[in-house]
Structure 1
Amino acid sequence: MFQVSLQRVARYEREEVEEGLARLLESLGGMERYVKPGERVLIKPNLLSAKPPEAAVTTHPEVLRAVILAVQHAGGIALVGDSPGVGSGRRVAERSGMMRVIEETGAEFVPFEESATVGGTGTFREFELARPYLEADRLINLPKLKTHEMMTMTCCVKNLFGAVVGTRKAAWHLKAGADKELFARMLIEVYMLREPDLNIVDAVVAMEGDGPGSGDPCQVGLLMAGDNAVAVDQVAAEVAGIPKKLLYLESAARNMGLPGSRREEIAVAGADPATALARPLRLPHLSDVQFGLPRFLKNRLRHQFTSRPEVAPEKCELCGICVKACPPDAIRVQGGRLRFDYQRCIRCFCCRELCPHAALTLKDGFLLRLMKKSGRSL
């Protein structure tokens, strides 16, 4: 059985978070089970973009503080690192409040800038992952529970995509992002190259709606933890109330027979995931009903069965972030406004994910609109 622990933590008050973390880890054997004196422990939060803590885009700095202190109390050397979707890791850490915590606790910030090539063991033959991520003695995964327009939910396994440095993320979106099932498999193969020793989920305030970067904060009041990232994600999805058929990562994990992918092999300690929330998290805009279709039909009917990004001119400041972030180079600025090449667009929605002004909307294809209007269960 894989153990997953849930503890109620209502607010990001320092003492409350530290006490909640101690209770959370108690049923798992405490931090001392995962960290030995003198070990270099990489803590990998979610540093998606330069947003303040209250936006719920990044892991909250008080959760990071509590984990750093627990690692140090166990005798470990705390390192903090990630590669954001856009901008420098240091700037995102400063804007999100995490750099202040890193400096106050005496931890070391290790931006993911240099990569090393690692041989793959499945569909993909090799990956380039951040050296600090590969070289640390221990890895603690510290994601934020959020909805995600491409994968429906982002939590433990998806958070590890941050080990892919900078613009190499765009290359993976271009290589695998046009097919959600293939992209999910790629994410799992990244996870399998370096499975975290411990996963701790910040779900005190989660994100719902158009996550992971433009959704709305949602009070959940939980911390979650477990050794197995796949198992923790299973329980997180249960807490969020997300239907299994919309969980691409979890479905891929079951198809691959990964440990922790079956709910019956997971034991939950603490709060009941089925009653943790009064209502399910509000899901992202349904942008794709291609799952289950043969590949040749997906290619032919892609524009009709999917949503496409469009600009809201009154919000767009032509900052160019979406242009730089677009993996297939399908966006340009022309005539004082954004222009999209929808033949090249792979519907990865990196543009929406990273837009700091929430200036990109979605327009449904004809068949997708028709299915939504008919009320067909998807």
Structure 2
Amino acid sequence: MNRVVLHALPDYDRAGCEAALQTLLEPLGGMKAYVQAGQRVLIKPNMLAAKAPEKAVTTHPEIVRAVIRAVQQAGGEAWVGDSPGVGSCRQVARKCGILAVVEETGARLAPFVDCRPASSPPASFQHLEIACEVLDADLVINLPKLKTHQMMGLTCAVKNLFGAVVGMRKPQLHLQAGSDKALFARMLLDLADHLKPALSIVDAVVAMEGDGPGSGDPVAVGTLLAGESPLAVDAAALELLGLRTEDCWTQKIAREQELPGATLKDVELVGAAPASLRPQHFRPAKATDVSFGVPAFLHQRLRRSLSALPALDANCCTGCGLCVEHCPPQAMALQNHRPHIDLNRCIGCFCCQELCPRGAILTRQGLLLRLSRFFGLGR
């Protein structure tokens, strides 16, 4: 049985975070059950973009601090790294407050610049290159932020490990999957299984709802979660938020593949009951496709009506061009200082929305998708 621990934490008070982390890890044996003296420990927070901590886009620096301190007290050498969607690791770490924590604690920043091929890439990948710091670590501690995700539904322990793929190699994997969300979810599941983090500790003190992972709204949840299995942690996170397995593509595909931890029947929940911590209201990501059976040939013809695709909010857009630069299928171009989206080439990955610094990319649902949601048929 995969054990996942939940513990209440109302805010990011420094002493409170350290005490809560210690209590959280006790049913798992404490940090010393995982970290041995002299080991290099790679701590992988979510550092998607250079946003202030209160925006809830990145893992909060006080949670990172608490984990660094626990690793150091266990005798480990703490490294903190990620490959952000926009900007360098150092730039993003400085803006979100993590760089200051790294410097104050004597930890080391791992910029995730260099990478090398996985020795035995999972079957769903044509090829796979991973950050050298991840491959060279003695163990990995996964430190996600709990957020909605426009493409996958939810980003938590499984999705956070995608940051081990460096820079522009991420768009290449989006292109490999194309508009097939199930294939992209399988790739993420295979990546998580390949990396096998020792622990996943989730910052759900303030989570993100709505248009995540970069443009949603902060929502107080007041919880930390921890477990060894990323899938089991994500199952507990869905239960915490009152969402279904179908609301998260990685969890949905994992259930179809009957992977351990895909559903709560495979999970031993310890600590606070999820229902006692559940926020009164939580706004999930918008549905992006219809889940009832539509023949493939018909789905392709009716794609715009059956799916959700990005749309520009011209009132918010500043014409910075980041969405154009990072679009995996190169379906965007600047015209008159505003991005134009070629919907025939768009694969619906929503990288443009994820990385837009102004929240100027909206999710526009097709007519049949909106109707399916009204009648309870859509994802």
Alpha-carbon deviations, 1:233-261, whole Å to 9, x = none?
Answer: 10001001112222210121122232222
Contact 2:81–2:110, Cα closer than 8 Å, also in 1:
yes
Q: For residue 166 of structure 1, report the CA deviation from its aligned partner.
A: 0.5
Partner residue in 2 for 1:15: 15
What SS does structure 2 have at the residue aligned with 1:182? Answer: helix
Matched ranges for 1:124-163 at <5 A: 124-163=125-164
Separation in structure 1 between the aligned mates of residue 115 and residue 345 of structure 2, nearest angstrom: 28
Range that drifts further, 52-61 or 121-130: 121-130
Partner of 2:78: 78
1:103-122 counterparts in 2 under 5 A?
A: 103-118=103-118, 119-122=120-123
Superposed CA deviations along residues 328-349 of structure 1, whole A, max 9, x for unmatched, are 1111111232211111001111
Give the corresponding residue for 1:368. Answer: 369
Describe the SS at the equivalent of 1:283.
Answer: coil
SS in 1 for 2:368: helix
TM-score by length of 2: 0.96
CA contact (8 A) 1:290 1:305 kept: no
Distance 1:171 1:291, change over 3 A: farther
The 5 Å alignment of 1:291-302 reads 292-302=293-303
**Distance (whole Å) between structure 2 residues aligned to residue 289 and residue 58 of structure 1:** 30
Counterpart of 2:181 in structure 1: which amino acid? K
Contact 2:42–2:134, Cα closer than 8 Å, also in 1: yes
How big is the shift at 1:291? 6.1
- On the 8 A contact 1:241/1:280 being kept in 2, the answer is no
Residue matched to 1:261:
262
The answer to whether structure 1 residue 34 and structure 2 residue 43 are counterparts is no
Q: Pairwise mapping of residues 226-375 of structure 1 onto structure 2 (< 5 A)?
A: 226-290=227-291, 292-372=293-373, 374-375=374-375
Superposed displacement of residue 191, structure 1: 0.8
The C-alpha deviation readout for 1:201-229, integer Å capped at 9, x for no partner, is 00000001111000000101111101111
Q: How far apart, in 1, do the equivalents of 2:292 and 2:37 lie?
A: 48
Deviates further, 186-195 or 239-248: 239-248
Q: 1:377 — aligned with what?
A: 377
Residues 133 and 295 of structure 1, relative CA distance in 2, 3 Å threshold: farther
Unaligned runs of 5+ in 1: none
**In percent, how many aligned pairs have the same letter?**
51
Structure 1 residues 16 and 59: alpha-carbon distance in aligned structure 2, compared to 1, 3 A threshold: same
Q: 1:196 is matched with which residue?
A: 197
- Cα deviation 1:127-154 (Å, max 9, x = unaligned): 1111111110010000000111111111
- Classify 1:245/1:341 alpha carbon distance in 2 versus 1 (closer, same or farther; 3 Å): same
Aligned residue type for 1:327? P
Check whether the contact 1:290–1:306 (CA below 8 A) recurs between aligned residues.
no
- The residue type paired with residue 302 of structure 1 is R
Q: Which TM-score applies when normalising by structure 1?
A: 0.96
Instruction: Note the C-alpha offset of 1:303.
Output: 1.5
Amino acid at match of 1:344: R
